Amino acid sequence: MKINWGTGIVIAIVLFMSFILYFVIKVQSNSKYDNELVVEEYYKHDARFDEEMIRAQNAQDLAEKPIITNTIEGITIVFPDAFVPSKIKGKVSLYRPSNKKFDFEIPISISNPSLLIPKSNLVGGQWDLNMEWQYEGKKYLSKKTIYIN
C-alpha cells in the first residue's frame, strides 16, 4: 500500500495527539503529580490581604526582629530581649508546598525567648513558615522559606 503526503500528515497529527493525551492522562492519574492549593479557602484568604500586609509591615518596622534559623535540632525562633516571652501569643504555621498532608501549626506559648520546632516533625525539603503573633495588642506576621536536609 502506498502512503501519500496527506495520509502521512494525518498519521503524524494522530500520533502527536496520542502522545500528548498519554501524558495528560498520566499526570492526572498519578498522585506523584498532585496539584494542591497552598490555601484551602483562597478567596477568603485573599479578602484579608490588606490586614496581612499591615501585620507584615509591623514586623518589618521592628528595630529588633525575631530570628528564624535552621539548626541541627530543628527550626529555632528567637524573639528579641525587648519582648517579655510570656506576653507573646500566636501560632507558627508550617506549610509543605509539595504535600498538604505534612502541614501543621504550633501555638506560641513560651517562657523563654526561644521556640524550637523539632526536626523529627519535619520532612526534608522546602517549608514555608508563617508566624502570626501579637505582643501587647499589636499584631505581627513574619514569613520565611526554610529548606530541611
DSSP β-bridge partners for residue 143:
130
- Same structural domain, 26 and 98: no
- Same structural domain, 28 and 48: no
- Same structural domain, 78 and 137: yes
- Same structural domain, 56 and 26: no
Spell 50-72 as b/e; 16+ CB within 10 A means b. eebeebeebbeeeeeebebebee
Identify the pLDDT of residue 130: 92
- Same structural domain, 52 and 100: yes
- The boundaries of the domain holding residue 53 are 42-148
- Same structural domain, 104 and 127: yes
- Same structural domain, 22 and 47: no
The whole-model pTM stands at 0.68
Q: What is the CATH number of the domain that holds 129?
A: 2.60.40.10
Identify the pLDDT of residue 17: 97
* Number of separate domains in the chain: 2
Intervals of the chain under pLDDT 70:
33-40, 42, 45
